[in-house]
Structure 1
Amino acid sequence: MSTAVGIDEAAVTGWITTALGLNAKAPLNFRRIGNGQSNLTYLVTDAAGASWVLRRPPLGTLLASAHDVVREHRILTALQDTGVPVPKVLGLTEDPAVTDAPMMLMSFVDGTVVDDVAVAEQLTVKRRAQIGASLTDTLASIHAVDLDATRLVDLASHKPYAERQLKRWSGQWDKSKTREHAGVEGLAERLRAAVPEQRELTLVHGDFHLSNVITSSVDGRVTAVVDWELCTLGDPLADVGALLAYWPQAGEGYVGPFMSSTLDGFPTRAELADAYFAQTGRDPSALGFWHTLALWKVSIIAEGILRRLLNDPRNRGVMDVSTKMVDDIIARAIATADEVGL
């Protein structure tokens, strides 16, 4: 057996092998995977070579409502029979005899996760283009989910999403910041003064980017969207803005964990946006606001990751987060606000 931080391996093995009807063969091996710094993700492999994926919240003290695995389980279960590609949900436990926090088991989806530039460099230019095209197709499918049919219509408030986001993430900053930063507060004021009218309410992934999808090793198609913990109901352009926020381009001097999109073959931010709006027919006029808000939000998320690492170093993933990284994101957010005239 392995030694995976955050897992009582004997207890979890018992749950998987006896309670879920998966015919899993002990002993099970647990290995932390992914670059994610939020909910912890593990690859589970049994003695016969079968694989599954396990999710649990980070270790240590958490902010209220953050990292809600039970809610993520509800969302994934609701999406099982829709056009949105997601892993199959296999089980959820909150049994204190098994785990100290809610834990969800899902199917293992084979494919390529472009969560590092080294992975992207192994792909052909054609494959990168195929992945880029599938990203906007998949995002459109998320925004087309029937909220009534999936019973997700009460997942979150129906009040205007921009105001909700500004209130929530300003609060998250106040609770998790490691220092004062005038840029974060100043940008929040600029965003509040420029809130666009909300014209529709859809399912919003909340963290849609290249590292949170699994793509086919054959044709680059998105075969699963993962990391649904920030999913909510809101303005669909928020997801488009988030995708752009995680999409640096060649020549921008960007250095960080999301460099893959700078390689030849991947579309530019403008090409991603054009493809989405051509497919959905939505009005792109408010995109600059949502792009700026997404960068502001990413800086607050990164600061929260830094806070959790300081509180409990066991939460550390592959990607390192530093004060400089957070400052660089804030600077990009301010520059974007200037460019779009906020």
Structure 2
Amino acid sequence: MASDTIPIRQGEELDTSAIENYLREQLPNLPRDNLTIEQFSFGKSNLTYQLKMGEWEAVLRRPPLGPVAPKAHDMEREYKILKEISPHFSAAPEPYLFADEKVIGSPFFVMERKRGIVLDTDFPEGVMPTDKMCRSLSETMVNHLVQLHSIDYQKTKLTEMTKPEGFMKRQVIGWIRRYERAETDIVKGVEQLKQWMLKNVSESETPAIIHYDYKLNNAMFNEELTEMVGLFDWEMTTVGDPLADLGVAMSYWIEPDDSDLLKKGMGKPPVTVTPGFMTRDEFLEDYARKSGRDLANMNFYQTFAYFKLAVICQQIYYRWKKGQTRDPRFAHLDAFVSSLIQYSLYTAEKK
């Protein structure tokens, strides 16, 4: 299996000595080996690194370079969320420690290193996907989303960190503002979409813990691809409307019959276009059956989810255009943003 780490990109280096000293102060019984750091090749938002000392290994997450959006990339919040969720949800990595900006100039946290297979645009070399395998992977994704939404958040400290009342209205207003702060070019239809969302805000009755970036390439599976062993990128997690979480999951769930605008927005389409994977409608039906939730207003949630994805891509493109990241993957994200806005409008008009 190919390595999932790369040499650290220029400009994204870490102070190895400062991190090693801090780890030894905070964590007992670490091996005497020197700390080595490599960068993970995946991820488009926060910077993620592998830490190794002999047999000990962990993952470090820090914010991206340059100015960041208000309340975004909050390392301490993500650390606290994982601390509350990981005892109840085995796929969530256990967090080890948090550090403020005094150690390396930016806040970061260190967490458990999970091992397994992340599926993105291809299956691992030597794996021949079958209809049964793809169906099983789909069901695993549904099951873990239902499981996450069934955790009793009132038995955790998330009650002190979140405000589920009026969640969706705040989300619509907040993501519109985020888009406006990161706007670089005039995109056709965006004003119409803003007005539609503000007029059609929906809210389901029972809040839940939501991951809010739930997608196949944020999950990790065992070597047999039969179990989910990891779920990553918890920075957007909160207590809110579970159907918003479901909508976000569907915005990433690409089907074979989708337009090229959706399938190739970030390059190659994800493996969900492989025969055997559930369609979005099948995923929604399975979720509704297993969770018992009413999905009558999913049209709104899916429209908002495509807009939210457009905003995330726009924020990344804004940083690339301002020279705050050198990653060449981001150079043409503006075209994908425009496509997502158009697809949001198309979804809004569907009955």
Which TM-score applies when normalising by structure 2? 0.89
Deviation of 1:58 after TM superposition, in Å, equals: 0.7
8 Å CA contact retained: 1:84, 1:141:
no
Q: Which residue of 1 aligns with 2:166?
A: 160
Q: Distance in 2 between matches of 1:72 and 1:152?
A: 11
| Match 1:116 to one of 111, 116, 121 | 121
Once the two structures are superposed, the pairs formed by residues 26-105 of structure 1 within 5 Å of their partners are 26-46=33-53, 48-94=54-100, 96=102, 98-105=103-110
Q: Which residue of 1 aligns with 2:295?
A: 284
Once the two structures are superposed, the pairs formed by residues 271-310 of structure 1 within 5 Å of their partners are 271-310=282-321
Deviation of 1:154 after TM superposition, in Å, equals: 2.6
Q: Distance in 1 between matches of 2:203 and 2:125?
A: 38
Q: Distance in 2 between matches of 1:124 and 1:320?
A: 32
Residue 226 of structure 1 pairs with residue 232 of structure 2: yes
8 Å CA contact retained: 1:120, 1:128:
no
Q: Which residue of 2 aligns with 1:10?
A: 17
| Match 1:265 to one of 251, 262, 276 | 276
**Per-residue CA shift, 1:187-216, capped at 9, x if unaligned?**
121112112243121111111111111112
Q: Which amino acid aligns with 2:18?
A: A
Task: Work out which structure has the larger RCO, using CA pairs closer than 8 Å and 6 or more positions apart in sequence.
Answer: 1
Q: Distance in 1 between matches of 2:247 and 2:151?
A: 19
8 Å CA contact retained: 1:80, 1:88:
yes
Q: Distance in 1 between matches of 2:245 and 2:90?
A: 15
Higher mean C-alpha displacement, 154-163 vs 245-254: 154-163
Q: Distance in 2 between matches of 1:334 and 1:132?
A: 27
Higher mean C-alpha displacement, 247-256 vs 281-290: 247-256
Q: Distance in 2 between matches of 1:42 and 1:321?
A: 25
Change (3 A) 1:320 1:215: farther
**Per-residue CA shift, 1:23-66, capped at 9, x if unaligned?**
144322222214321111111222x2432111011110111101
Q: Which residue of 2 aligns with 1:243?
A: 249
Q: Which amino acid aligns with 1:59?
A: L
Q: Which amino acid aligns with 2:185?
A: R
Q: Which residue of 2 aligns with 1:327?
A: 338
8 Å CA contact retained: 1:72, 1:228:
yes
Q: Distance in 2 between matches of 1:118 and 1:191?
A: 37
Q: Distance in 2 between matches of 1:45 and 1:318?
A: 27
Secondary structure of the residue that 1:14 maps to in structure 2? Answer: helix
Higher mean C-alpha displacement, 51-60 vs 214-223: 214-223
| Match 2:220 to one of 214, 219, 238 | 214
RMSD across aligned positions (CA): 2.1
Q: Which residue of 1 aligns with 2:175?
A: 169
Change (3 A) 1:199 1:79: same
Secondary structure of the residue that 2:341 maps to in structure 1? Answer: helix
Q: Which residue of 1 aligns with 2:258?
A: 252
Q: Which residue of 2 aligns with 1:200?
A: 206
Secondary structure of the residue that 2:191 maps to in structure 1? Answer: helix
**Structure 2: segments with no counterpart, 5+ residues:** 1-6
**Structure 1: segments with no counterpart, 5+ residues:** none
**Per-residue CA shift, 1:76-133, capped at 9, x if unaligned?**
000121135211111111151x221111111111111113335499452233322211
Q: Distance in 2 between matches of 1:285 and 1:171?
A: 27
8 Å CA contact retained: 2:320, 2:330:
no
Which TM-score applies when normalising by structure 1? 0.92
Deviation of 1:185 after TM superposition, in Å, equals: 2.3
Q: Which amino acid aligns with 2:264?
A: V
Q: Distance in 2 between matches of 1:112 and 1:138?
A: 17
Change (3 A) 1:319 1:20: farther
Q: Distance in 1 between matches of 2:318 and 2:97?
A: 30
Q: Which residue of 1 aligns with 2:4?
A: none
Once the two structures are superposed, the pairs formed by residues 106-145 of structure 1 within 5 Å of their partners are 106-117=111-122, 119=124, 122=127, 124-125=129-130, 126-145=132-151
Q: Distance in 1 between matches of 2:145 and 2:52?
A: 31
Q: Which amino acid aligns with 1:293?
A: F
Q: Distance in 1 between matches of 2:42 and 2:89?
A: 26
